[in-house]
Chains A and B, each alone.
Chain A
Amino acid sequence: AQSVSQHNHHVILSEAASLELGCNYSYGGTVNLFWYVQYPGQHLQLLLKYFSGDPLVKGIKGFEAEFIKSKFSFNLRKPSVQWSDTAEYFCAVKRTDRGSTLGRLYFGRGTQLTVWP
């Protein structure tokens, strides 16, 4: 079965610290990759996505992620976090080959990021 692993359940940082959240998936075929963010009490919002091409993708609010196919990873990074980045972050994977489970997004369990001012 398809699985998505997020290595950290809860990350606590001070403002201006650098952030890296790990995400690995278990499927060997072609995929679309996503990071969603959920601010307290809000719905999921797309942070960034990878479909094809340059494996380093940039998203909103200074976030970026790098797709490393050989490692089945799509880690999220930000050089300097802010208090307003406090939220829960979800990695999601969609298989894109024919015959795969159509359109389904598989989510990791989420990483709660807390940034202290």
Chain B
Amino acid sequence: EAQVTQNPRYLITVTGKKLTVTCSQNMNHEYMSWYRQDPGLGLRQIYYSMNVEVTDKGDVPEGYKVSRKEKRNFPLILESPSPNQTSLYFCASSFRWGEKNIQYFGAGTRLSVL
């Protein structure tokens, strides 16, 4: 089954404790992206990757890191989480980055930073 898988689904942590949210897709997609969703703000892009070893900042990259060592995986790293990073995070992927490509979303990771 074609899917985007995020882990964990729920995470509660404390300020400053490094964490990683994993994202994996089994569709051989080149383009992957991370979004955060906050009430009243919709989804905002954190980072994206056009292919292996190619990543770039989205609209709200501060406090986050990503890596794309393999095509299927695109982990989101919070080196020193802060309470303002409490949010719902979605990973997405699409075959290519260009037009006529649809992004498919993972189930989301709800993160609380205390």
Contact = CB atoms under 8 A, between A and B. Distances in A.
B25 interface: no
A50 to B, nearest CB: 10
Nearest to A105: B103
Interface bin, chain A: 20 to 34
B101 interface: yes
Contacts of B102: 34, 46, 49
A44 B40 contact: no
Contacts of B44: 107
Nearest to B31: A103
Nearest to B6: A43
Contacts of A107: 35, 42-44
Contacts of B98: 96, 102-103
Given A43-B105, A102-B50, A109 B45 contact: no
A76 to B, nearest CB: 15
A25 interface: no
B99 interface: yes
Contacts, number: 61
A9 B40 CA distance: 8
Contacts of B104: 46
A4 B50 CA distance: 23
B81 interface: no
A46 B106 CA distance: 12
Contact of A43 (B41, B48, B107): B107
B107 A109 contact: no
A51 interface: yes
Contacts of B103: 105
Contacts of A90: 42-43
A103 B106 contact: no
Contact of A32 (B35, B41, B90, B100): B100
Nearest to B40: A109
A45 B90 CA distance: 12
Interface string B77-106: 000000000000010101011111111111
6 contacts: A46-B102, A51-B99, A105-B33, A107-B35, A108-B42, A109-B40
Given A34-B102, A104-B33, A109-B40, 20 more contacts: A32-B99, A32-B100, A36-B105, A43-B107, A49-B102, A51-B99, A51-B100, A90-B42, A104-B45, A104-B58, A105-B43, A105-B92, A107-B35, A107-B42, A107-B43, A107-B44, A108-B42, A109-B41, A109-B42, A110-B42
